[in-house]
Structure 1
Amino acid sequence: MRRQNAFRGIIKLLLIAVGLFSLLVTAGEEPKQWTPDDPCPTSIHAIIPNYRTKSEFGTFEGVHEALKTCPNISELHMSCRFGSRRHRLPFKLDGSERYISRPQILSLIGYDFDHDEWSDIRPQGTHPTFGNAVWPNDGIWPVSSSTNPVVIWVVEMFYKARWQWECLQGFMAHLGLLPWPLHSDIWKYEGYSKEWYSQRHTPAERRSIENIQRWLEAMDFSQIHSLTISEYMNVPLGKGVYHDLPRALTGLKTLKVEGQWINPRYETLSNDQYEDREYPSPENNWLEPLLPPALEFIIAVRPGLESLTWTESGPVRNEVLETVLKHHGSSLTDLEWTNTEPKASSFSEEQLRSLGQWAPGLTNLTINLGRVHGVWPWKHLKAVAESLPRLTNLTIYLDMYDESSNFDYWGLLPAKLPLTQEASLDMFNILNLFKTGDKIQNVEFRQGDWESPTDGPKIWKGDWAIRGPRMWTKCTLDVQRKWSKPTCEEGHEDKVEVEWRKPKRST
């Protein structure tokens, strides 16, 4: 037995060594980054930073240069991940830069829309010796009020020498030659001092502009017909994203939104109510449920969308659904409105019938439906069939786990009514039995984790990250001569990945 345990221990050590070696090899195989001397791409798929990926655009600086240099970039996909210094494009504060590309497809995951560049690059903290602000007036470069050119020159040289001295202090502190406690904020100079110095004379009206507003100045957004915005890592905030961006999207036809976009300072209390962290309410004085801020963006986009996807929207509330459908419903042909477990919010029978009232032209629909008292949602399926005469493709997400499951402690219990090929065929037949107008040609029933790996791991109620498993059944209406034969095929992936993730910091 001891020999067997020792052998197992050796095997484990060998596996760990092989794993570490493969990580080192993989880390050394970073793809060559694009430069202006390389051929111009027609599409950019940037993952920032690009460790463990094959993206040739691993920095926002690289994307920035490509958009300024290349005229025919039609697709731009940018996904921000942990470890990046920036979550935004690096625009100059004076607004002098212009992009010559006019993308038609834009996808942004974790982009920092409302970032204030000036507040980030300006010197902060106090002087290590005198205790006063390092640079007064919020980092504005001091200018002499004298009209004497000699005095103006002397003042300029004085502050330039002071800036260079601060940079030297930061460099010495970085090398460990000066004690950090006396230079607690000098690190700001290391990364941002040159950026601040080169833009130190930026006019006041240019300093407070949000990043997306600078982007709107630099690029023509009217050609974008497909837009995706995900709140992963950064919640879209600011006037620029809610007011200025929608007005610029004059050609938009497809919109995909992920998340509710609730400001991080709001804390979820109960029953989808929220409390402002900065201005908390008295005890037991609950606030009214907030409308998800993403709703404001969706209805700020001009009517005429043909396809709308809203994932992780939160509870499907009547006032939210009705507002969206009244604004965009008449032109929609594709609608996806889904949430993932354990807070998957299903459509009610009345809400499904309202789809037919406000969006009668839907041909493709993707929604959540739940089991009703231990049986399949027959009335809901009937409502879909009777209300949408043009619907031919339907995707339904069902809960994979029972409501009594404990998602914090891996107590996952399967749903009591299993999804089988026979059950799916029964639901497919019911849909077409009550279907008005065109018959439904394709139905897919899904359970489990269907999020894309690039969206980051699924986060359940607790701090466990779970990916997989997934189950599905695909049903089609096979037309053979004069007969239509419904058929269903089932499939599954049983792989489950579980890891502990550090809880998010509250802000």
Structure 2
Amino acid sequence: MRSFLRHIFIFSLLVLASAKCPTYIDTVVPRGQNAVYGKREPGDPLLATMRDVHKTLSDCDSLKSLKLRVTNIGCSEHPDRWNFPLDLASGSIYPSKLESLDLEGYHFGDRMWDEISEPPYRTNSKFWDTMEWIGSGRALKWLRYLPLSAEQKAKTNLDLLLDAMDFGSIKNLTLRPRSLKVYGAWAKDLILGVPENSLTHLSWMFSDETGASVLPVLQHHAQSLKSFEWREAESGIRQRRVMTAEEISEVGRMAPNLESITLDVNRNGTWPMEIFDALATNFPKVTNITVFLEFASECRRQLEASMEGVYGYGQWKLDLESDCSSGIESMAQPVLDTKPATKLFYRLREKKVGDLLKKVVFYAGDWERPWDGALAESEWLDGRRTYFLWG
């Protein structure tokens, strides 16, 4: 009987030990997995800090998927840090062979050496700033990393992450070797760092590039790409960077195997037919076209810009005096509604060279996830949107 109970006890310990290592992570830092954010299986650990996620990645070889969002939630909840605390000297190792990786809000460009170095004096007291530096443990790390080479000290968190994680098994990334969806200007080095012509799908949002400057980056994967998305969310205060008809034509010449393309298109009083014609005539294999148009007029954007830092009566007065605070003058012209959208679709279909179009979508306005961080301020553009789909 005792032997049986002992075996049951040992088996229970093994089950509990294995339960601490999940097969996937889907969490939001700083909230963790709960009814609103992320998900987890019974027995999986609650992962509400970057250090928790880092420890699980370091200790477990069972993980197949990592989906992580790092963000401020409301005014009072903040992540413990914005990236993993990877070791600069000896390096960190994540033993799992992930098949899916999705990182949002992660600060890839931060440098550990900058993080632990003595900070600039913020309190007007060198003594208390030094005490904080020592008490936080950064001074001890600084001493440990001091003998490292300048090259090692210059490594970004992305460099350390590439050393720590086995990217060879990843099939789906929002950082991924065949299909890459990335947000931000930092991603340029990553896109160029992935082996040439290894991506079949590239989506780059908020790149801070112009239509001309993005072309050399696209060239790195142009021959292998089957889908390409380059855009940014509509801004309430400035016009977006977009490609000219000539630049779109160049994309067609560089990327002959594209089957799907998604781009921003601006307009100023008339439909830019040269843009739509470039999309129709330079991509013989493209069957899916998605266009993001503007919702707000230039007058409305200028009004929004003039309201920055103005509140209450001052904002109300500016709004009252403007010719484009509401109505047709607040919207980009021509307005995207059923009749012109239908005409644009038929023009694309009529002009299309090569394979027939299977799907065309026009979006306009605010299609981003609502802000759930601190100090949320409503903007005129919030929630204003429209779309038309054929296919």
Q: What interval of TM-score do these two structures reach, taking the shorter chain for normalisation?
A: 0.7 to 0.9
CA distance change for structure 1 residues 458 and 355 in 2, over 3 Å: closer, same or farther?
farther
SS class of match (1:407): helix
1:205 lines up with 2:205 in the alignment = no
CA distance change for structure 1 residues 457 and 416 in 2, over 3 Å: closer, same or farther?
farther
Query: Gapped runs of 5+ residues in structure 1?
Result: 1-34, 127-179, 230-250, 262-293, 477-507
SS class of match (2:57): helix
Tell me the distance in 2 between the aligned counterparts of 1:385 and 1:125.
55
Superposition deviation, residue 382 in structure 1: 1.9
1:338 lines up with 2:247 in the alignment = no
Corresponding residue for 1:258?
A: 183
Q: Do 1:61 and 1:90's aligned partners in 2 also have CA atoms closer than 8 Å?
A: yes
Corresponding residue for 2:246?
A: 350
Q: Do 2:211 and 2:242's aligned partners in 1 also have CA atoms closer than 8 Å?
A: no
CA distance change for structure 1 residues 356 and 447 in 2, over 3 Å: closer, same or farther?
same
1:306 lines up with 2:213 in the alignment = no
Select 1:442's aligned residue among 340, 359, 370. Answer: 359
Superposition deviation, residue 78 in structure 1: 2.5
Tell me the distance in 1 between the aligned counterparts of 2:204 and 2:375.
17
Select 1:403's aligned residue among 290, 294, 298. Answer: 298
Superposition deviation, residue 360 in structure 1: 1.6
Corresponding residue for 2:164?
A: 218
How many percent identity over aligned positions? 27
CA distance change for structure 1 residues 216 and 381 in 2, over 3 Å: closer, same or farther?
closer
- Counterpart AA for 1:439: L
Corresponding residue for 2:101?
A: 106
SS class of match (1:50): coil
CA distance change for structure 1 residues 467 and 45 in 2, over 3 Å: closer, same or farther?
farther
- Counterpart AA for 1:298: I
Query: Gapped runs of 5+ residues in structure 2?
Result: 1-15, 39-45, 73-77, 308-318, 320-324
1:60 lines up with 2:50 in the alignment = yes
Q: Deviations over 1:117-165 (max 9, x none)?
A: 4554577799xxxxxxxxxxxxxxxxxxxxxxxxxxxxxxxxxxxxxxx
Q: Do 1:115 and 1:210's aligned partners in 2 also have CA atoms closer than 8 Å?
A: yes
Q: Deviations over 1:86-124 (max 9, x none)?
A: 112123454264211122332333333354445545777
Q: TM-score, normalised by structure 1?
A: 0.57
* Structure exhibiting the larger radius of gyration computed from Cα positions: 1
Select 2:137's aligned residue among 192, 205, 209. Answer: 192
- Counterpart AA for 1:112: H
Q: Do 1:257 and 1:310's aligned partners in 2 also have CA atoms closer than 8 Å?
A: yes
Tell me the distance in 1 between the aligned counterparts of 2:271 and 2:120.
62
Tell me the distance in 1 between the aligned counterparts of 2:158 and 2:209.
29
Tell me the distance in 2 between the aligned counterparts of 1:216 and 1:118.
17
CA RMSD of aligned residues (A): 3.5
* Higher RCO (C-alpha 8 Å, min separation 6): 2
SS class of match (2:27): strand
Q: Deviations over 1:269-306 (max 9, x none)?
A: xxxxxxxxxxxxxxxxxxxxxxxxx4444233222210
Superposition deviation, residue 307 in structure 1: 0.7
Q: Deviations over 1:7-61 (max 9, x none)?
A: xxxxxxxxxxxxxxxxxxxxxxxxxxxx976353333223221179534421112
CA distance change for structure 1 residues 38 and 465 in 2, over 3 Å: closer, same or farther?
farther
Q: TM-score, normalised by structure 2?
A: 0.72
